[in-house]
Amino acid sequence: MVPNPSPTKQVSAEVLAAISHIGNQFAIQGEFRDGHEIESGHINTTFLATYELTDGTLQRYILQRINQNVFKKPLAVMRNVECVTRHINWKVLRVKKDLGGQTLNLYPGRGGRFWVEGPNGGIWRCYNFIEGCQTYDVVENTRQAYQAARAFGSFQDLVSDLAASNLEETIPDFHHTPKRLEKLLEVAAADPKGRLASVREEFDFIRERAGITGILLQLCEEGKIPVRVTHNDTKINNVMIDKETDEAVCVIDLDTVMPGLSLYDFGDLVRTATSPAEEDETDLTKVQMRMPMFEALVEGYLDSAGDFINDVEVDHLAFSGKLITLEIGIRFLTDYLEGDVYFKTYREHHNLDRCRTQLMLVKRIEEQEEAMVKFARKVSRGRK
């Protein structure tokens, strides 16, 4: 397993003073001693601040500025995060859930709000730093897959009695696959960069599956699957793993928490954990849907979330992986046709390569989908 130790770097005296100023606006203990920038992460600006308590021990905190270019409504993001962390921590305290159900703690600003304004503007927040843990960037074995799925299932279990209406949809239509397809068709019709002819195979592959894009939304409209509070970024590097026990401790990165379908979260776990290939792999023979990984995901997820998800959701665990993978493939192809304007690219045809890996994984899921469905049902029945 390859841990991600969240590398840090030194900062200038000016930045250090700014960190101290921001940290002192929060209701945290101790005197400021040092600060470093955490280099991992691609969206928000994050610092690790160290404070010394009166007994000489050191306490570390995370200070983070929300990227308002990505999150257009940062206060809505903060309200969602506050609502979810407050609810989960209340339940952890009273229901005595194990460590897999814990989450981050927000520290209030000295003015009472859970955010403050920085000296140069911007919305800042303060989290506890979780000691003794690490993250992983790639799922390399079934134990990791089980722990990741268990952590996200536990997260959903803890918020299963929190009304989704309490949260704001901060990114509208985030997983509205039919609208993603509509956008692709519009861009393909315009073909602004003249690229459509070179991707006809991929484009036709997606169009042939247009009929499945609205299945989960239709089930939701029919009342067969409910809208829940969902995480919406279920990558393994958003799960803190205890260094000694190698067990999941908590889920992090709650900026995309909002109303959604639980199947979207599980589907993205399938997309990111079952194939050993990189997202932009050019050798498509490396793209596989590893059944042992899927089985570990199902077992971990149902071990912690099996008490609240219904039979229709269980029946669509495999399908959700196919749908979310297709959706991401649609997004990559759309961006390629538009001229690579959304996702960062580092080589020619980068978004096309990403699209092709997603579509190949869709094929691999389709080849084993029947067995995947049967396994999920068997595990679910065994827990009743």
98-107: pLDDT as tens digits: 444 455 788 9
Q: How far apart are CA 67 and CA 248, in angstroms?
A: 27
The yes-or-no verdict on residue 154 having pLDDT over 80 is yes
Percent of the chain as helix, strand, coil, to the nearest 5? 50, 15, 35
Whole-angstrom Cα distance, residue 41 to residue 1?
Answer: 20
Beta-strand relationship, 45-52 and 248-251: unpaired
How does DSSP classify residue 224? S
Measured over all CA atoms, what is the biggest interatomic distance in the chain, rounded to whole angstroms? 69
The pLDDT of residue 292 is 97
Q: Is the dihedral of CA 369, 374, 379, 380 positive or negative?
A: positive
What mean pLDDT do residues 368-379 have?
A: 97
Angstrom CA distances, 315 to 7, 83, 302, 377, stand at: 41, 30, 12, 7
Close Cβ partners of 14 (under 8 Å, ≥ 6 residues apart): none
Domain ranges of the chain: 3-72+104-129, 136-382
What is the rounded CA–CA span in Å between residue 46 and residue 19? 10
What pLDDT sits at residue 357? 97
Instruction: Provide the token pair at 196.
Output: 């459509």
Name the band, by pLDDT with cuts 50, 70 and 90, for residue 243.
confident
Predicted pLDDT at 194 = 97
DSSP reduced 3-state for 270: helix
User: What does the mean pLDDT of the chain come to?
Assistant: 89
Residue 1 has pLDDT above 70, yes or no: no
- pTM of the entire structure? 0.84
Please give the Cα distance from 332 to 329 (Å, whole number): 5
SS3 category, 112: coil
Which CATH entry fits the domain spanning 136-382: 2.60.40.10, 3.30.70.370, 3.90.226.10, 3.90.1200.10?
Answer: 3.90.1200.10
φ/ψ bin of 181: left (φ > 0), alpha (ψ from -120 to 50), beta (otherwise): alpha
User: 32: which 2 tokens?
Assistant: 């400021």
Looking at the domain 3-72+104-129, which fold is it? Answer: Phosphorylase Kinase; domain 1 (3.30.200)
Residue 106 CB: number of other CB atoms within 10 A?
21
DSSP classification of residue 109: B
Measured distance CA(44)–CA(159) in Å, rounded: 25
For 14, 69, 131, the CA distances from 62, given in Å and listed in that order, are: 18, 21, 11
Write the pLDDT tens digit of every residue in 37-56.
876 555 678 888 899 898 98
Please tell me the distance from the alpha carbon of residue 206 to that of residue 71, in angstroms, as a whole number. Answer: 29
Separation CA 321–CA 275 (nearest Å): 11
176-204 mean pLDDT: 97
Residue that the structure tokens 């959604």 belong to: 260
Q: What is the pLDDT of residue 41?
A: 53
Q: Which of 351, 347, 250 is nearest to 304 (CA)?
A: 250
pLDDT recorded at residue 4:
44
The phi and psi torsions of 376 (rounded to 5 degrees) equal -60, -45
10: helix, strand or coil: coil
> What is the end-to-end Cα distance of the chain in Å, rounded?
34
One fold for 3-72+104-129 and 136-382:
no
Residue type, 376: A
